[in-house]
Amino acid sequence: MLFTRFLARQCLGNLRAARPSKLRLIHASASVSSENQVVIALGSNQGASVSIIKSAVNAMEREGIEIQQHSCLYETAPMHVTDQARYLNAAVKGKTTLSPFSLMKVLQGIQRQHGREEGGQRWGPRPLDLDIIFYGNKELQTEDLQIPHPRAFERPFVLAPLDDLLDDVARPSKTDAGGSSVDGRLSQARQIWISEFGGEALMGTETIKRVVPVAGDLWEVGRRTRMMGILNVTPDSFSDGGRFNNVETAVRQAQSMAADGVDIIDIGGQSTRPGADLLSPEEEVRRVIPVLRALTPIAQDTGIALSVDTFYSAVARDAVEAGAHIVNDVSGGTLDKNMFATVAALKEPVPYVMMHMRGDPKTMQSRENTTYTDVSTDVGAALQTQAEQAVQQGVMPWQLWLDPGIGFAKTHEQNFELLRNLPTVRSQLRSGCLRHAPLLVGPSRKGFLGSLTGRSAEDRDVATMAAVGAGIVSGADVVRVHNAKAGRDTILVADAIWRE
């Protein structure tokens, strides 16, 4: 252990070494002859921090910085000046032809655009903080700019995001025009993160928490299992069709689920049971929006998040404008080519639940769509591919929640296999942020449970809770259920055993 720490400190010392001769060569012009990889840290603790960080990343791209990879979001305790709000931190890896000094000026301009004033209290609160951590393999030291950042390797709120940037392929880069990689630097940072700070062992403490933005709040990932309650406002859903398909009955059911402890209410206006006919987006909007508007005051009073269950981009857009906090897409963006761009363009960055499905509700159970080499591996790889496409169209990786699609384009046996092997699904998520994305499973009252128990849909709650418990043990972060009271008890027991 002592030797490991010695090596980490040696790496840190090497990273801080100054090279004035290189400084003079680079400072001569605003750009360099080839693209160089850069790592930039982002922080905010004033204003709408989540939106500010997304806006800053978009601003970098408009300035010609090609963003290749993103970290997760981390909530961290302030340093030195402790009488201020906790910070939201992240990091990105990208490419630029700007010189280090020109890049610094561009980042300072982006800070000003987001309300950062020159000067101000050192270590004090700020709407946006952008720091160059690495610039290729270059080492600079001047009064105005030091690269690598001199204190980066002393700060968990920098090291944790840097760790996410290794092996991240969420946004494939363009052909490297000769620029030097920063992966060696990131590997050294990972060694320090693990040996000096404990790596994941530090996560979830007051020092640092991995978080996802939901309904104007930050939810810690992994702290406890979240429950999504199902509210079908349809006449033909397989389990409860017709029971809640008007505003009055839907509101009563939502109030009941809120009392039973749900974290999210998922409102669906279209049945996606096997063989279901597809509704138009207009009909789905007609069913969903009045219910969403009626539930908005309840959500505000209780802190519950509202989700819209749709694969239509137009419905997702209208629902978020009407008060939805989450978009839950059973098709993972495969049934509406505009879904990713629509989610990316929303005024507030909301979670996007990307589920795995092949075909559509009419065709998903065909032999072709239920044939896999290995269902857990294939589903994980397909989710990675869809996630890459979403990020390329502007969805932030930390907006993505992933769902293996229990009951969708899966045989009964494959559903059980997926619940057993959720770690295999996650192992196929090659990008750093996606490896930590919330994983949602929805086995509630589905046919594979009926095939085993011989019970009808409305009588499968006991079987559902067994599947929910198994999913939590296997790594699920969010479970989607019809019976919220039973779900609450199942989650409490499973979390007490497996999360505590």
Indicate whether 2 pLDDT > 60. Answer: no
Read off the pLDDT of residues 10-42 as tens digits, 9 standing for 90 and up. 444 443 333 333 333 333 344 555 889 999 999
Read off the pLDDT of residues 335-365 as tens digits, 9 standing for 90 and up. 999 999 999 999 999 999 999 999 999 999 9
Burial class of residue 170 (count of CB atoms within 10 Å of its CB; 0-12, 13-18, 19+): buried
Read off the pLDDT of residues 98-121 as tens digits, 9 standing for 90 and up. 999 999 999 999 999 999 877 665
DSSP per residue, 175-242 = PP-SPPP-HHHHHHHHHHHHHHH-GGGGTTSSSEEEEEEETTEEEETTSS-EEEEEEE-SS--TTTTT
Q: From residue 239, how far is each of 18, 58, 246, 284, 309 by CA, in Å?
A: 67, 43, 17, 19, 16
- Does this chain's domain 2-211 share its CATH topology with 223-498? no
Q: Which residues are catalytic?
A: 446, 480
Read off the pLDDT of residues 435-459 as tens digits, 9 standing for 90 and up. 999 999 999 999 999 999 999 999 9
Indicate whether 5 pLDDT > 70. Answer: no
Q: How confident is the model at residue 432 (pLDDT cuts 50, 70, 90)?
A: confident
Contact 326, 308 (CB under 8 A): yes
Question: Cα–Cα distance between 141 and 277 in angstroms, integer?
Answer: 65
Contact 293, 324 (CB under 8 A): no
Pick the CATH number of 2-211 from 3.40.50.300, 3.40.1030.10, 3.30.70.560, 3.40.50.880: 3.30.70.560
Of 440, 465, 469, nearest in space to 453 by CA: 465
> Which CATH number is 223-498 given?
3.20.20.20
Read off the pLDDT of residues 118-133 as tens digits, 9 standing for 90 and up. 766 566 688 999 999 9
The number of beta carbons lying within 10 Å of the beta carbon of residue 83 is: 7
Comparing 180 with 38, which gets the higher pLDDT? 38
Task: Report CA torsion sign: 307, 310, 311, 316.
Answer: negative
Average pLDDT over residues 178-198: 85
To the nearest 10°, the Cα dihedral for 351, 357, 362, 363?
Answer: 160
Helix or strand (DSSP H, E) at 326: strand 326-329
Residue 140, amino acid: L
Indicate whether 71 pLDDT > 90. Answer: yes
- Domain positions in the chain are 2-211, 223-498
- Residues shown for the chain: 500
Question: Cα–Cα distance between 432 and 166 in angstroms, integer?
Answer: 6
Reduce the DSSP state of residue 49 to 3 states and report it: helix
User: pTM score, two decimals?
Assistant: 0.89
Read off the pLDDT of residues 377-423 as tens digits, 9 standing for 90 and up. 999 999 999 999 999 999 999 999 999 999 999 999 999 999 999 99
Indicate whether 174 pLDDT > 90. Answer: no
Contact 493, 453 (CB under 8 A): no
Q: What is the mean pLDDT of the chain?
A: 88
The structure tokens listed for 352 are 């996007």
Lowest pLDDT segment from 2-11, 63-72, 470-479, 488-497 = 2-11
The structure tokens listed for 391 are 């990020």
